[in-house]
């Protein structure tokens, strides 16, 4: 207990020290980073004259992920899969996807998501969107196997396909996304189903945009049926207090997060820079949503709390089985969408 207390005091002291240092050096940071933003603005204006073939500069949140080259050795590919009863006419789906989603227009009469036809292009050190020379929707929406195959795919093979797709590079000079179809998958020992795999690079969009795309645009499910985060109203006094303390609490919380993220335990024996990839896949048996809801209601907690508890319990069990010491705390990052998420394909985290 004494060790834990001393560690907590040490972390708190470091957090406060880094906060004070941050506040002292903040004006210096502004001076150092101002030229970068001015340069960014200058390059975006210069491309209008020198590179009219380039589209918009990739926004900051997306550019952080887009610097991971999806055409060589990507680390931030994401893969989502849907199971469909019966069969799907891929040609009809492709035509509908092209007309209703890729060619969807905004209120201004422009393409709502031109990124579906664009790829990352670096110019003068900054990333831009560049149009594909010959965009072919048949390449982006296609069968995973040859169309004439009669192969029946097992669920175990599907998981291996997903793992392979997660680390496979995209074709050069193409938009980093694709819809792949695997017919005749043996799913839960019932009639074979079709599995639709949607693979995309994280620089293209975040998970919430993909959720909206697949549920609302592809499956026709209203976003109103999706669980929404609760908005807690604050009193006027609380809002004023938050506004006054923000310049101090924001850097403190940020520095505290950095300090606590550097935890040392058997789960984090290998440093992030030495990892072959930022994450890996492991598949368990399917857990019915009804079961999670039943546990949620039984303990009067949120759905998310049950899921996170299950993940934490799985990590604990795995560490015990491997003879590793289970720490009291393990730092973990959870991406959370910001309020006011746009309807476009964006990273809004």
pLDDT digits (tens, 9 = 90+) for 257-316: 777 777 778 877 766 667 766 667 777 778 888 999 999 999 999 888 999 999 899 889
**Residue 2's pLDDT band (cuts 50, 70, 90):** very low
Q: State what percent of residues in the chain have pLDDT above 70.
A: 91
pLDDT in tens, 227-257: 666 666 778 888 888 888 888 787 888 777 7
Cβ(292)–Cβ(305) below 8 Å: no
For residue 242, the model assigns a pLDDT of 82
Tell me what the mean pLDDT of segment 50-54 comes to.
Answer: 93
pLDDT at 231: 65
In this model, does residue 75 exceed pLDDT 90? no
CA 306 to chain centre: 21
Arithmetic mean of pLDDT, 56-60: 86
Distance from C-alpha of 42 to C-alpha of 48, rounded to nearest angstrom = 10
The separation between CA 52 and the C-alpha centre of its own chain, rounded to angstroms, equals: 31
Residue predicted with more confidence, 41 or 252: 41
CB distance 81 to 158 below 8 Å = yes
pTM to 2 decimal places: 0.80
Question: HEC states along the chain?
Answer: CHHHHHHHHHHHHHHHHHHHHHHHHHHHHHHHHHHHHHHHHHHHHHHHHHCCCEEEECCHHHHHHHCCCCCCCCCCEEEEEEEECCCCCHHHHHHHHHHHHHCCECCCCCECCHHHHEEEEEECCEEEEEECCCCCHHHHEEECCCCCCCCCEEHHHHHHHHHHHHHCCCCCCCCCEEEEEEEEEECCCCCCEEEEEEEEECCCCCHHHHHHHHHHHHCCCCHHHCCCCCCCCCCHHHHHHHHHHHHHHHHHHHHHHHHHHCCCCHHHCCCHHHCCCCCCCCCCCCCCHHHHHHHHHHHCCCHHHHHHHHHHHHHHHHHHHCCCCCCCCCCCCCCCCCCCCCCCCCCCC
> Of residues 273 and 43, which shows the higher confidence score?
43
Q: Are 325 and 266 in contact (CB under 8 A)?
A: yes
Mean per-residue pLDDT over the chain, rounded: 84
Residue spans of the domains in the chain: they are 54-225, 269-331
Domain 54-225 = CATH 3.30.559.10: yes
Task: Find, among 260, 263, 261, 269, the residue nearest to 324 by Cα.
Answer: 269
* pLDDT value, residue 267: 77
pLDDT greater than 50 at residue 346: yes
Mean pLDDT of the 47-67 span: 88
Judged by average pLDDT, the poorest of 167-181, 242-256, 315-329 is 242-256
Check residues 194 and 177 and name the one with the higher pLDDT: 177
Give the pLDDT band of residue 71 (cuts 50, 70, 90). very high
CA 97 to chain centroid, in Å, comes to 22
| Residue 133: partners with Cβ closer than 8 Å, 6 or more residues away | 173
Crossing angle of helices 236-261 and 2-50, rounded to 10°: 100
Neighbouring C-beta atoms of residue 124, cutoff 10 Å: 14
Whole-number CA gyration radius for the chain? 24
CB 162, CB 79: distance < 8 Å: yes
Token code pair at residue 132: 């594909």
What's the whole-number mean pLDDT along residues 127-148?
Answer: 91
Which residue in 342, 102, 84, 77 sits closest to 217, CA to CA?
A: 102
């Amino acid at each position: 207990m004494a060790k834990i207390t001393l560690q907590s005091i040490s972390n708190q002291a470091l957090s406060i020290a880094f906060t004070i240092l941050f506040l002292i050096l903040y004006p210096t940071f502004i001076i150092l980073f101002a030229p970068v933003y001015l340069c960014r603005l200058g390059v975006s204006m210069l491309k209008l004259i020198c590179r009219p073939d380039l589209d918009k500069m990739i926004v900051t949140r997306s550019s952080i992920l887009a610097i991971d080259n999806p055409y060589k050795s990507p680390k931030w590919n994401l893969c989502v899969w849907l199971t469909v009863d019966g069969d799907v006419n891929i040609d009809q789906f492709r035509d509908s996807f092209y007309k209703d989603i890729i060619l969807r227009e905004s209120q201004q009469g422009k393409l709502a998501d031109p990124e579906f036809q664009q790829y990352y292009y670096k110019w003068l050190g900054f990333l831009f969107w560049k149009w594909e020379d010959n965009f072919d929707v048949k390449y982006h929406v296609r069968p995973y196997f040859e169309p004439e195959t009669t192969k029946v795919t097992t669920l175990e093979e599907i998981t291996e396909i997903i793992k392979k797709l997660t680390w496979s590079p995209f074709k050069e000079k193409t938009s980093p996304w694709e819809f792949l179809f695997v017919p005749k998958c043996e799913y839960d020992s019932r009639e074979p189903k079709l599995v639709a795999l949607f693979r995309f690079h994280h620089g293209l969009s975040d998970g919430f945009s993909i959720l909206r795309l697949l549920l609302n645009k592809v499956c026709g499910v209203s976003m109103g049926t999706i669980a929404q985060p609760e908005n807690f109203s604050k009193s006027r006094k609380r809002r004023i207090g938050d506004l006054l303390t923000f310049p101090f609490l924001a850097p403190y919380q940020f520095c505290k997060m950095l300090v606590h993220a550097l935890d040392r335990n058997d789960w984090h024996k290998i440093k992030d820079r030495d990892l072959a990839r930022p994450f890996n896949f492991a598949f368990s048996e399917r857990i019915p949503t009804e079961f999670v809801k039943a546990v949620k209601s039984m303990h009067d907690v949120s759905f998310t709390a049950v899921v996170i508890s299950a993940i934490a319990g799985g990590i604990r069990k795995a560490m015990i089985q491997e003879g590793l010491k289970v720490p009291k705390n393990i730092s973990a990052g959870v991406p959370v969408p910001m309020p006011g998420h746009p309807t476009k394909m964006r990273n809004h985290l």
